[in-house]
Each structure stands twice: as structure tokens, then as C-alpha cells.
Amino acid sequence: QKEVEQDPGPLSVPEGAIVSLNCTYSNSAFQYFMWYRQYSRKGPELLMYTYSSGNKEDGRFTAQVDKSSKYISLFIRDSQPSDSATYLCAMRTGGGADGLTFGKGTHLIIQP
Amino acid sequence: KAGVTQTPRYLIKTRGQQVTLSCSPISGHRSVSWYQQTPGQGLQFLFEYFSETQRNKGNFPGRFSGRQFSNSRSEMNVSTLELGDSALYLCASSWTGGATNEKLFFGSGTQLSVL
């Protein structure tokens, strides 16, 4: 079992829909959680960074962390075709000595 | 402010050769990390450098090595290339890498193809 599980998709939704992306993890030592967006032939771009359980909102994006269930989510409201990309969850332990552990990414397609 | 710069963008090598990839971090950033991205394994941590010293290392064979210079620029070397080394190699920088709430900024990567 991999430390971080993420459905690779593709996930295809119509423009304007609410998108829900999720990751589960098994290592309870993970304390910091991130969501990255990666366009084709580009490096990952940090979207959201959270620490505590609960919700964090930034514009159309909301990150949710449930440490008791080892489950994190990213919600995208009013989705746009420009949101079409691969979304990667990432996490690190409190010590941070072993770099980030990534999910394999979910390929999201927003249909105009 | 310039982002993380990686060169070259594309490389084609043959099995058994060696390759060197270069990364220039964001100005002022002193920590540089390297990651390998493949369709099968996703993004995997290779190693991290700070002040010319390797601080952390992922689970990769010794054929993968790196170094960091006094200006924080970093190079990654892969010796005796194998077909399975074909991947996108990503470099990421941060201020110090030591604070767990620091954010990483990634370059666009070097796409390595081993034939």
C-alpha cells in the first residue's frame, strides 16, 4: 500500500461545476498538507498549504484536512477550462527530513 | 523575480551514459531539492541540499548524486543510465528548507529520455 493514494482520473466535469479532489494517506506522521497544480510540460505550482484539520479557503479553492480519517480534499468552485490540469496532493512529516510525499495526481478536464 | 530555472529542458541519452542536470534556484533561496516524476511512480524525492551540503536523501541508488555550489545553484548527476531513468527531473527551491511550513517552488523540469 502506497503512503498516499490519489485517483488518477481522468475526471471530466462541465464548466461552472464544483470539483472535488481527494487523497488518503496511511502515515499518521504527516502533518503538513499541500495541493499542487501541474500543467502539461510544466513543474508543479503550489495552490494550497494547510496544517491543521479543518478548512482553508483561497478564492475559488478550498482545502480540507481530516487527520482523524487521514483524508484531504481540494474543492474548486465555478470551475473554468483553465483549471484543466493534473492536481497533486503532497504531504510531509513534522521533521520534514524526507522531502514531500506526493500522490500520483488526478487529471482534471473542465469541458467548456 | 525569476523563478527556478532548469537546464536543459530536454535530453536524450543512451544506456550506460551519464548525464548532468542543472538548477538555478530563486534568488535568495538556499535550499534546493530534486524530484523524479514518472507516470508509474509519480513524484519521488531524490535529495535536498542546503549550504553545499546534502541534508536529506530519498530511496534512490548511488548512481544518482548531486551537489550544490556556493551561489546555491545545484547540479544532479546520473551515472550508468538505465532505461528506467527516463523521467521528468524537477528541481524545487525554498528559503532554508528547514522550516516544515516552508513552501517549495518548482522549476519546469528536465525531460530525460534514455534509449
Taking each continuous run of H as one helix and of E as one strand, the counts in chain A are 0, 11
Instruction: Say if the Cβ atoms of A97 and B56 lie within 8 Å.
Output: yes
CA dist A107 and A79 (Å) reads 14
Mean pLDDT in residue range B62-84? 97
Backbone angles phi, psi at A29, to 5 degrees: -80, -15
Does the pLDDT at position B106 exceed 90?
yes
Instruction: Say if the Cβ atoms of A99 and B101 lie within 8 Å.
Output: no
Size of interface A-B (CB pairs under 8 A): 60
Task: Show the CA angle centred on residue A61, arms to residues A21 and A71, nearest 5°.
Answer: 40
**Amino acid found at B46:** L
Instruction: Per residue of chain A (112 residues), give pLDDT as tens.
Output: 679 999 999 999 999 999 999 999 999 989 899 999 999 989 999 999 988 788 999 999 999 999 999 999 999 999 999 999 999 999 988 765 678 899 999 999 999 9
What does the pLDDT read at residue A97? 62
Strand B31-38 relative to strand A45-50, pairing: unpaired
- Which of A33, A65, A59 minimizes the C-alpha distance to A46? A33
pLDDT category, B95, cuts 50, 70, 90? confident
Instruction: Say if the Cβ atoms of B58 and A99 lie within 8 Å.
Output: yes
